[in-house]
Amino acid sequence: MSLRIQLWMVFLAPVILMGGLYAFGLTIPVPHFGRDYVLRLLLPDTAEQVGLPTVYGPQDASRPLVLIDPGHGGHDPGASGAGFKEKTLALGLAKALKNRLVEEGGIRVAMTREDDIYLLPAERDDLARRLGANLFISIHADSAGEQSGVTGASIYTLSNTASSEAAARFAARENAADQINGVSVGTREDGVEDILVELSQRRTQAGSVEFATLAIREGEDVIRFHPQAKRSAALAVLRAPDVPSVLFESGFISNPEEARRLASTEGRAQFADVMARTIRIFFARQSGQ
């Protein structure tokens, strides 16, 4: 076949194909851009699932499982202040709680990270779902920037509307953890701005709110809570649909005294005491239902 005929074939083939389809009454569907049409961009490097973490405690699947999630990690330090980084502080608190629960026995415990590594918010709650966890606790600290006088812990549950402006700002900062240089690398097809609590999540949500209420009751004499300690916001990390999930914001890293206390052995032990007790009461109530 001469080069000229080959070139003609290249140009004519699509014309013949379209003509043939038309002749047989077939058409190639053209998408209508509108409400039902979704364009998806898949990012290949985030499509890989992270491996399941070690489950500590009794190897008995009937025992309740709590997944502890130290916030941030790796290239994402979270908030910083007074010479401390949120990622380190959260990991210290999380390990203290894990050790306490394992020591006391009866409850299975896993951590989303045990080292200084980075996980997307979506990967964290996805682990809760894949592990079949009965409770998910994400541990963070806040920063009030220059306002070093601001202190106090709070506990967040998921909702479509934030409980206050401060809660909305906190959620916006935390949700930005899935951005690298301002570009979202989240694996979810919907944006974090659009976090909808579905009807099917209402029961799970009731569990989350119950846990938050219990934690404040159990900790009020030990932990210095913020006056508005129970908060809600559209936090991406709390979206596991079937797992009661809370985010414990342990205090303000921008207050040197609070940061030092949260990083100390004593501060970690106080946190572990309160949370371990709350977790036991929560699971006892759940099994009695």
Query: Which residues of this protein are in contact with Zn ion, per CB under 5 A?
Result: 71, 78, 140
Report the C-alpha gap between 251 and 150 in whole angstroms: 9
The residue among 65 and 155 lying less far from Zn ion, judged by its C-beta, is 155
Q: In terms of CB distance, is 77 or 256 closer to Zn ion? A: 77
Q: In angstroms, give the least distance from the CB of 148 to Zn ion.
A: 18
H-run or E-run covering 110: strand 108-111
Output 100 or 140, the one with its CB closest to Zn ion. 140
Q: How many CB atoms lie within 10 A of CB 192?
A: 23
Nearer to Zn ion, 49 or 147 (CB): 147
In angstroms, rounded to a whole number, what is the distance separating the alpha carbons of residues 289 and 284?
Answer: 9
Distance CA 227, CA 58 (A): 38
Handedness of CA 93, 99, 102, 108 (dihedral sign): positive
Residue nearest to Zn ion (CB): 140
**140 vs 239 by CB, closer to Zn ion:** 140
Residue 86 or 218: the one with the smaller Cβ distance to Zn ion is 86
Pairing of strands 245-252, 179-180: unpaired
Output the smallest distance, CB 42 to Zn ion, in A: 27
The number of residues making up the chain comes to 289
Region for residue 272 given its phi and psi (left: phi exceeds 0; alpha: psi -120 to 50; beta: otherwise): alpha
Distance CA 89, CA 264 (A): 9
- Least Å distance, CB 264 to Zn ion, is 20
Min. distance of Cβ 30 from Zn ion in angstroms?
45
Are 247 and 73 in contact by the 8 Å Cβ rule? The answer is no
Shortest distance, CB of residue 56 to Zn ion, whole angstroms? 24
Nearer to Zn ion (CB atom), residue 148 or residue 286: 148
Closest approach of Cβ 181 to Zn ion, in Å?
19
Q: Tell me the C-alpha to C-alpha distance, in Å, between residue 139 and each of 7, 77, 288.
A: 64, 13, 27
Minimum gap (Å) between residue 139 Cβ and Zn ion: 9
CB 240 within 8 A of CB 130: no
